[in-house]
Structure 1
Amino acid sequence: MLIEDEKNKILKADKLFSLILKEINTGLTPNDVLDKIYETFREVIPYDRMGCALIDDKNEVVTSKWNRADYQKKFILHGYSAFLNGTSLKNIVDSGNPRIINDLEEYFSKHPDSKSTQLILKEGIRSSLTCPLVSMNGPVGFLFFSSKEKETYKNEHVEIYMTIADEVSVIIEKSRLLEKNMELNELKNRFIGMAAHDLRNPLFIISSYLSMIRRGKFGNLSPKLEEKLELIHETATHMQDLVENILDVNIIESGEMKLNLELLSIAEIFNEKCGEQELFAIEKSIEIVRDFEEKIPNVMIDRSRIGQAIENLVSNALKYSYSGSKIFCCVRHEDNYIKVSVQNKGQEIPEADRNKLFQNFGKTSVRPTGGEKSIGLGLAIMKKIVESHGGTVGFKSNKIENEFYFLLPCKD
């Protein structure tokens, strides 16, 4: 009967964990998961207190990161730490096996130097089960189950506890990796931002002097020199565009982009940006066709930023369109959003390259048709701007045409 009861508890534990795992995918933190376990697993395992401690990267110090109890007065709190070597916890790490102590008073009489045992006894705890948390990269910490009653834990409980410990280990490891990635990404953004900022002023000075030289401020120029200066000017302009785009990405990703939202006509802004791109279109013998639906409702947007997103959308289409073709700039009101799109008769984007679109420096194998330089940031910046407005971006590509678009939410 006892064996059957334990089997039922294990099955119940599996069901409870399945429910928690579903919620993990919604973005629960390790602490959220531990709270869920504490609130739901009492049906299958006994405890008055639970705790979780993590080992540092050097495997030298263990620190309490989370704990909950049925009582208020606790002595082992968040942040409590101790050296790992020379403790009974080190033996658990080395063996990889859980430890059951069913009489903590007796244990303390034999190990009077154990500060953590002394503190947990002051809380009224009399028995404990400690499970090692182990990931693919090694030990990460411990999960503690504690009871105010002696002789609470039996070997039959270990399977349930180790199932919980295994799942918590995975969650903690994922969380740690995410934190490290975020730290590295922040460091990268700071470095790129500083480098780009430091390049901005020298490039401005170079461009200014180039303009003065080309206008004859320092004397007449030979045709050959004019040709060389034109190449230098194009390179300097390209570098300035690159620096400005990098600074834009850095501002957006750091969360420092401030939006000045106004109720505006997106069709008006689109029309202005099409006009600004006309000269480039004429140089490539490309016709810009405006196709704006009538009575498009105004939307809450930042004029400058959405203008930048539209400019990137149109210039991208012009870069990859053939000479003598047309691009179609469209605005539509569909359901609860405004669709802004640009269609062109260009090269089909290969399936293998499509995941690079809208990514920072995401260049595909498709090349601009007029030899234009491509930084690979235009669509990425557009995506970030649109998403900051609560919108989404997308594209369609086939052998006949390409369409890039974004959707902005609106109210009728």
Structure 2
Amino acid sequence: MQYVTPTSLLTKNESHRLEKLRDYHILDTHSEDTFDKIALMVTQVFNCPSAFISFIDEDRIFIKSNLSQMTFNEAKRKDSLSSLAILQDDVLVFNDTMNVPEILDNPYVLGGNGVRFFAAVPLKTPEGYNVGTISVIDSRPREVTPLQIDMMKTLSKIVIDKLENRLRYRKTIESQIDLMNIALHEIKNPLASIKLANEIITKDGTKIPNMTEMIKSSVGRIQAKLSDLLKQSEMEETQIVLSIEEIDLKELFTRLQNSFDLLAARKNQSIIFELPDNPPPFFADRAKISDILHNLLSNAIKYSYHGATIMVMAAEVNGNIQIRVKDNGQGLDENDVDRLFTKFAKLSSKPTGKETSNGLGLSITKSFVELHNGTIEAISPGKDQGTSFIVTLPLRYEKEPSLSEFSS
């Protein structure tokens, strides 16, 4: 069967393929015994002098394992025969390259001691992306057997299993780090309330009953948050599970007012809460919704000027509950909007009362909103013209069906 030269070296899912390849963090790494042993097995199976484990980047191939006389570990993608192998799902075999006119001008085929025999199997990810190859070459023609092909395919699966295990491990570590960062961020507000209540008690003993209740509430929030995070860290894949219950907006806003009035008063700011006469009940995770609004209101206080007015409004819109936190503070520019919900984002706005910020709050807030199948957006006319954060949530949370539920 005659080989047909491809019109392009790009795969059908090139951008996703490259994204997955980079997720593996395998490019430009040192040689490793595990991969070298697999390449060695390939040379033994085919009784050939040279074998490679290569990964195909955007315009080059990176050779992770090189069992040959070649001294380089990188080549141009357009010159590599492995670049042809990732364009198909099966093994690519050239028993004798001299009989394949379409590749006779390849720089690795040209010459008296060039590649005469080539066989390669794609390294296919679980998603179906061919990120690289296991290949074997010789300077003389060869025939291959079905057993050799099957062995090569088996070894390619071992390579992918190794990469997937590393990826899972790395993501587990990253998840644990994220959980610690979330814990540190989420206990900042209740700790600030406790500190403020202590200062007030020290100055005015008549405020002890009110401040005692605030301290009790803040300690409860810290304990609940740490308990929640510990449970998450013990769960497989650290998947967050929502505890859905009916939420009374009036009660929720009252708790917010009690928590933030004192913090706002320190900067001579005022917070105005607006609700419809008969706010609709909605169903969500009370702790997560509270965290969302605590983060948004804390930011509004932190980045608004002294004497500012902050509005917190809720309304039913098209069968959803929409909550808007609006300030007349420093506002956002175009660059801020692009980075707003990313982790550790550094924005142009600065805290106006010597508060600290680690850039995690809005990233966490967005993830909590999306867990509820909701949306969050930020609107700002420009710098020093204020910002509105709009959270839209379904009145009743419904879990999206899993693949297993579809198949059952």
Alignment TM-score, normalising by the size of structure 2: 0.52
SS in structure 2 at match of 1:258: coil
Q: Number of matched residues? A: 292
Kept in 2, the 8 Å contact 1:343–1:403? The answer is yes
1:291 and 1:370 map into 2 onto residues whose CA distance is 26
Identify which range, 261-270 or 362-371, moves more after superposition. Answer: 261-270
Kept in 1, the 8 Å contact 2:314–2:324? The answer is yes
Residue type matched to 1:186 in 2?
Answer: T
Identify which range, 336-345 or 175-184, moves more after superposition. Answer: 175-184
From 13, 17, 31, the equivalent of 1:21 is 13
For residues 101-250 of structure 1, what are the structure 2 equivalents within 5 Å? 134-135=56-57, 136-139=61-64, 145=91, 155=100, 168-169=130-131, 180=166, 183-190=169-176
Change (3 A) 1:394 1:250: farther
Residue type matched to 1:169 in 2?
Answer: V
Structure number with bigger Rg: 1
From 326, 330, 350, the equivalent of 1:343 is 326
1:270 aligns with 2:253: yes
SS in structure 2 at match of 1:316: helix
SS in structure 1 at match of 2:238: coil
2:5 and 2:42 map into 1 onto residues whose CA distance is 34
Residue type matched to 1:401 in 2?
Answer: G
CA deviation after TM superposition for structure 1 residue 132, in Å: 7.0
User: Identity of counterpart residues, as a percentage?
Assistant: 20
SS in structure 1 at match of 2:41: strand
CA deviation after TM superposition for structure 1 residue 274, in Å: 3.0
Kept in 2, the 8 Å contact 1:133–1:168? The answer is no
- Measured on the aligned residues, the alpha-carbon RMSD in Å equals 5.7
Residue type matched to 2:13 in 1?
Answer: L
Partner residue, 1:82: 41
Identify which range, 391-400 or 354-363, moves more after superposition. Answer: 354-363
SS in structure 2 at match of 1:262: strand
1:197 and 1:341 map into 2 onto residues whose CA distance is 25
CA deviation after TM superposition for structure 1 residue 302, in Å: 0.8
2:343 and 2:252 map into 1 onto residues whose CA distance is 25
1:371 aligns with 2:333: no
1:404 aligns with 2:404: no
1:328 aligns with 2:311: yes
1:378 and 1:195 map into 2 onto residues whose CA distance is 10
CA deviation after TM superposition for structure 1 residue 344, in Å: 0.5
1:90 and 1:169 map into 2 onto residues whose CA distance is 24
Residue type matched to 2:172 in 1?
Answer: E
Partner residue, 1:291: 274
Partner residue, 2:344: 361
1:21 and 1:163 map into 2 onto residues whose CA distance is 20
CA deviation after TM superposition for structure 1 residue 353, in Å: 3.8
1:357 and 1:407 map into 2 onto residues whose CA distance is 17
Identify which range, 389-398 or 188-197, moves more after superposition. Answer: 188-197
Partner residue, 1:48: none
2:55 and 2:259 map into 1 onto residues whose CA distance is 60
Partner residue, 2:79: none
1:363 and 1:246 map into 2 onto residues whose CA distance is 30
Kept in 2, the 8 Å contact 1:330–1:340? The answer is yes
Partner residue, 2:374: 391
For residues 302-313 of structure 1, what are the structure 2 equivalents within 5 Å? 302-313=285-296
1:408 and 1:351 map into 2 onto residues whose CA distance is 26
CA deviation after TM superposition for structure 1 residue 255, in Å: 2.4
Kept in 1, the 8 Å contact 2:179–2:229? The answer is no
1:85 and 1:269 map into 2 onto residues whose CA distance is 69
Change (3 A) 1:86 1:29: same
1:245 and 1:408 map into 2 onto residues whose CA distance is 25
